[in-house]
Amino acid sequence: MQVMAMPQSLYQNWQFAIEINGFDVALFQKCSLPKTEVEEVTFAPAGSLFDQKVAGRVKFSDLTLEKGILQDGSDDAARQWLTQVAQVTLGMGGVPALYLRDLDIVQYDRMGVETRRWHIHGAWIKGLEYDDLEGGNTNNTIEKISLSYQYWD
């Protein structure tokens, strides 16, 4: 007699929220997760057949968020954040205390219970991009936000 295996409870990608001051959580539709890379430091001591390797500096990849844009113009949080980083028309930029923000990426299960949380420290908006306009396209316009950050836990 064959025993049927019960399905595993895996995380599902669709149940998440981005918590950033000034942004409407419901508008986010896509988010990359933080990535960490530790540099490799090598040393070739005299007389050794192989290099010695140890951990070096830690690097964190940028995050990309994608969200819909409200037609009433009330959702300009990304543009406001970008102007805190740099005001091109005035030829000046902000200081880190004005533009660094912490944010959370939160994942939920099917019951709406929080299952995982990534706390992002010292994030700032590095890039802001919009979908191309196209006459034959009926999709919503999406705002793409690139964030750099100090570290995550």
Is residue 1 in some structural domain? no
pLDDT digits (tens, 9 = 90+) for 67-126: 988 888 777 889 999 999 998 888 888 999 999 999 999 999 989 999 999 999 999 999
Is residue 116 in some structural domain? yes
DSSP the chain: -PPPPPPP----TTSEEEE-TTS-GGGEEEEPPP-EEEEEEEE--TT-SS-EEEEEEEEEPPEEEEEE--TTS---HHHHHHHHHEEGGGTEE--HHHH-EEEEEEEE-TTS-EEEEEEEEEEEEEEEEEPPP-TT--SPPEEEEEEE-SEE-
* Full domain range(s) for residue 84: 24-32+62-152
Is residue 46 in some structural domain? no
Its pTM stands at 0.83
Is residue 147 in some structural domain? yes
Number of domains into which the chain is organized: 1
